Amino acid sequence: MTTASPAARAAELRDLLHHHAHRYYVLDDPEIPDAEYDKLFQELQALEAGHPDLLTPDSPTQRVIGKVLDGFVPVRHAVPMLSIRTETDTEASGAVAFDARVRRELGLADTEPPIEYAAELKFDGLAINLRYENGVLVQAATRGNGETGEDVTQNIRTIQQIPLRLRNHREAPQVLEVRGEVYIRRDDFDALNERQRELIAQGAKNEKTFVNPRNAAAGAVRQHDPAMAAKRPLKFFAYGVGEVRGWELPARHSDVVDALHAAGLPVDPQRAVVLGADGLVAFHRKVGEKRDALPFDIDGVVYKVNERALQQRLGYVSREPRWAVAHKYPAQEQMTTLLDIDVQVGRTGKLTPVAKLKPVFVGGTTVSNATLHNQDEIERKDVRLGDTVIVRRAGDVIPEVVGVVADRRPADAPRFDLHARLKGKCPVCGSEIVREEGEVDWRCSGGLFCAAQRKQAILHFAGRRAMDIEGLGDRLVDQLVDSGLIRTLPELYKLGVAKLSALERMADKSARNLVDGLEKSKQTTLTRFLFALGIRHVGESTARDLAKHFGALDRIMNASVEQLLEVSDVGPIVAQSIHTFFAQSHNREVVEQLRACGIAWEEHDGHGDLSPKPLAGKTFVLTGTLPTLTRDEAKDLIEAAGGKVAGSVSKKTHYVVAGAEAGSKLDKAQELGLPILDEAGLQSLLKEAR
């Protein structure tokens, strides 16, 4: 039980909470669980409620203040927040030109040593000035016009990364203005937009999604309600200082940034000190290579002469420092005109609307097509034909339309409806297009027939758990389809050694092996054949349940939705998918042609096969390599006897079947005292169970 006075305990709690917040939000290295932090926070809240005189501006409880602001108060910057010159040459030559200009301004000969530079990322966010007096945050202001910004202190207080007081506050300068950038990480931005979509779908008023992280960050900082700002996932990086009183600044800019970090402010770890033009070029290239992998957006890098004495010698021109430059990368977003919308059919039958654009240079290349994802996204973004749109391309990511410039919209811009445009038919094969309840994508229902899905359908059909056609992999399927040898699944079984041997890198032996594999695959099971057809939502388990319930393929093909719903674990969506698949005449034709090729399986009368199996309710786990059975063969034998094969060992496991080089699963089974079988033991159990 504590005996400290309320004032002493409140001070202790503030110190503890500031320390742990720094560990969590800045260093990403928490020392205590969230629940423990919450206890300390609630204790401080209770103390302040009971003793209002203990409340201080730097208290962690003052992160979110409930008062809604009427407007933003102008703030005149003690030291102007100047912009820096932009180097529009996005190649290495831009860095070389800056170094040459600096050396020329300083009067340095070619024989003199290279200049030391501080190289930093140019964040794509909102510039902010934080004013600390005696180590306590007293004001935060936007850049504004550089001379005058807006007071956004209450909103900035909601950013957990920004300390309400500096770590060394007892020795802090009388005044320290910290310059930095407020931003939103890409993953946080995606999650924010997803939450916004959910709110919109629920009918919430005045909600919208955001075009990019920068706009979302800027909008959050300029919210009049701090509670709303607190809901946005804002982050902060410090990169410089404004007015400073009571601190003799270090001689180098990089040391200033290090000192800010030591004071508890987050700074970007990508920053570096480099020498001369070669160092600048290497930094620009290195950051450019990993730009798309960064967790936040940047639009370039910044070079600053590191020695502050040299900065003073260089001075300013047109209110821009001669000692700094922003070296841009190719823009990742540009505006252009949406000329039309086409629809592409993917390998799995997904229909994707594609924007046909007036060509625009973005992300380092000329873009004339961009994805619109799906009909819901088109409606959410309110994209219309003829619109001026914002196109984004980052690295190798497919260009996408991220927003619309609504005030440039033509008066007669029509809306786009994918189903109406296609008249309900796949643009490739003419099959019916479907969109299941709760899904955003339209899909072609002609999986076995549609040319756009041909390769995917063949690969799935030949898969190990489907028809198990040995030797038919991705590369060979590409060759067969691209050369025109295969257009439909039945044509697989018409391949001969002569045709296959004529393919590039296909030897006679490989051709013979594939023909043998095709012949072997003809003897299969109804479960495997159903799974091989690639019916949407029909996996191995569902295929097995269908085969058991109906016993014959024709009964499944002719079943109504109501009859399909009688099958164990088949719900409305799965039943409708199966019914739609077999309602397509061309799918039925492909099935009949496959049968005509000689594919066969045993059938039965259906429901009679649902009698209890001897191993029903028993769970097996397979581990290691068995002498004669493959893992799949052992699994099939167990499931045929009614057993279930699981992937991990638990107290609910009945048997573990172990072969050579069995690993941790065997150890776990021994630890739990479970029955362990070898292959002979499994075969014996199966024999007894018959």
Question: In sequence order, what DSSP letters do the residues of 233-245 get, joined into one string?
Answer: -EEEEEEEEEEEE
199/257 same-domain check:
yes
Q: Are 398 and 344 in contact (CB under 8 A)?
A: no
Q: Is residue 150 pLDDT above 70, yes or no?
A: yes
| 443: Cα within 13 Å, side-chain hemisphere | 20
Of 587, 503, 521, the C-alpha closest to 553 is 587
- State the pLDDT at residue 220: 87
Same domain for 632 and 662, yes or no, is yes
Which helix (H) or strand (E) segment holds residue 623: the answer is strand 619-623
> What CATH number should be reported for the domain holding residue 229?
3.30.470.30
User: What are the CA-CA distances from residue 584 to residues 106, 443, 455 (Å)?
Assistant: 78, 14, 20
**Does residue 544 fall inside a structural domain?**
yes
Alpha-carbon distance of 9 to 20, in angstroms, equals: 16
The pairing of beta strand 644-646 with beta strand 619-623: parallel
Same-domain pairing of 477 and 519:
yes
Summarised one tens digit per residue, pLDDT across range 554-588 is 999 999 999 999 987 788 889 999 999 999 888 99
Quick one: 346 and 323 in the same domain? no
pLDDT above 70 coverage of the chain, percent: 95
Indicate whether 470 and 596 sit together in one domain. Answer: yes
Domain containing residue 23: CATH number:
1.10.287.610
Residue 415 belongs to a domain: yes
> Does residue 305 belong to any structural domain of this protein?
yes
- Bridge partners, residue 340, by sequence: 356
When mean pLDDT is compared over 83-97, 383-397, 585-599, the highest value belongs to: 585-599
**Where does the pLDDT of residue 28 fall: very low under 50, low under 70, confident under 90, or very high at 90 and above?**
low
494 Cβ contact list (under 8 Å, min separation 6): 597
Return the pLDDT at 25: 55
Residue at 541 is within a domain: yes
User: How large is the average pLDDT for residues 91-109?
Assistant: 95
CB 654 within 8 A of CB 618: yes
Judge contact between 146 and 77, C-beta under 8 A.
yes
What per-residue confidence (pLDDT) applies to 34? 59
Across the chain, mean pLDDT equals 88
CA neighbor of 230 nearest in space, from 277, 318, 160, 166: 160
Report DSSP letters for 138-184, one per residue: EEEEE-TTSSEEEB-HHHHTT-TTS-SB-TTGGG--SEEEEEEEEEE
**Strands annotated E in 215-345:** 234-245, 272-275, 298-305, 316-317, 320-321, 324-328, 333-345
Pick the last residue of a domain from 328, 351, 371.
328
- Output b/e per residue, 499-530; b: 16+ Cβ within 10 A: ebeeeeebeeebbeebbebbeebeebbbbbbb
Instruction: Please indicate, yes or no, if residue 75 is contained in any of the structural domains.
Output: no
pLDDT of residue 611: 56
Q: What is the CATH number of the domain that holds 622?
A: 3.40.50.10190
The answer on 362 and 247 residing in a single domain is: no
Which residue in this structure is represented by tokens 């107290």? 651
Contact 302, 119 (CB under 8 A): yes
Cα(552)–Cα(557) distance, integer angstroms: 9
Verify that 456 and 574 share a domain, yes or no.
yes
Long-range own/partner contacts, residues 601-608 (CB < 8 A, 24 or more apart): 601/523, 601/524, 601/525, 601/526, 601/528, 601/529, 602/525, 602/526, 603/526, 603/551, 603/552, 603/553, 604/551, 604/552, 605/551, 606/549, 606/550, 606/551, 606/552, 606/555, 607/549, 607/551, 608/551
Tokens standing for residue 680: 């002979």
Backbone phi, then psi, for 184, in 5-degree steps? Answer: -130, 130
Q: What tokens does 143 get?
A: 């850049």
Is 548 part of a structural domain of the chain?
Answer: yes
Tens digits of residue pLDDT in 117-130: 999 999 988 899 99
Decide if pLDDT at 30 tops 80. no
Residue 508 shares a structural domain with residue 384: no
Q: How far apart are CA 580 and CA 444, in angstroms?
A: 11
Query: In DSSP terms, which residues pair with 76 in a beta bridge?
Result: 148
What residues act catalytically? Answer: 122
- Are the CB atoms for 186 and 214 separated by under 8 Å? no
- Res. 27: pLDDT tops 80: no
Q: Quote the pLDDT of residue 436.
A: 82
- Could you tell me which residues come within 8 angstroms of residue 314 by beta carbon, excluding any fewer than 6 positions away? 102, 105, 106, 305, 321, 322, 323
Read off the pLDDT of each residue in 176-198 and give the average, rounded to a whole number. Answer: 91
The pLDDT value given to residue 140: 95
First-to-last alpha carbon distance for the chain, in angstroms, is 70
Higher pLDDT, 658 or 227: 658
The predicted pLDDT at position 607 comes to: 63
CATH number of residue 376's parent domain? 2.40.50.140
Q: Which of 157-161, 211-215, 406-410 has the lowest mean pLDDT?
A: 211-215
Residues 536, 560, single domain; the answer is: yes
pLDDT of residue 210: 81
Looking at the fold, whether 508 and 552 belong to one and the same domain comes out as yes
Q: Is the pLDDT of residue 609 over 60?
A: no
Kindly tell me if the per-residue pLDDT of 81 is higher than 60.
yes
> How confident is residue 447, by pLDDT bands cut at 50, 70 and 90?
confident
Q: What's the number of domains the chain is made of?
A: 5
Q: How far apart are alpha carbons 148 and 81 in whole angstroms?
A: 9
Report DSSP state, residue 356. Answer: E
Q: Between vectors from CA 305 to CA 301 and to CA 310, what angle results, nearest 5°?
A: 165
Q: Tokens 């109804």: give the residue.
A: 526
Residue 79 C-beta-side C-alpha neighbours within 13 Å: 15
H-state helical runs in 430-571: 454-462, 474-482, 497-501, 508-521, 526-532, 540-550, 553-557, 561-564
Which of 328, 351, 375 lies at the terminal end of a domain, its last residue?
328
At 33-74, the pLDDT tens digits run: 656 777 788 888 889 888 888 888 788 887 654 444 457 888
Is 430 inside a domain boundary?
A: no
pLDDT digits (tens, 9 = 90+) for 253-266: 999 999 999 999 99
Contact by Cβ (8 Å): 434, 442: yes
462 & 375 share domain? no
What's the pLDDT band for 212 if we cut at 50, 70, 90? confident
Q: Which residue has the tokens 């059938």?
A: 603
Q: What is the pLDDT of residues 219-234, one digit of tens each?
A: 888 887 888 888 889 9
The domain containing residue 353 runs over which residues? 333-422
Mean pLDDT value across residues 615-624: 88
- DSSP string covering 117-147, please? EEEEEEESSEEEEEEEETTEEEEEEE-TTSS
Q: Residues 462, 357: one domain?
A: no
* Kind of pairing between the strands at 400-404 and 388-392: antiparallel
Residue 253 domain-assigned? yes
How far apart CA 619 and CA 629 sit, in angstroms, is 19
Mean pLDDT of 145-163: 90
The residue among 274, 293, 328 that closes a domain is: 328
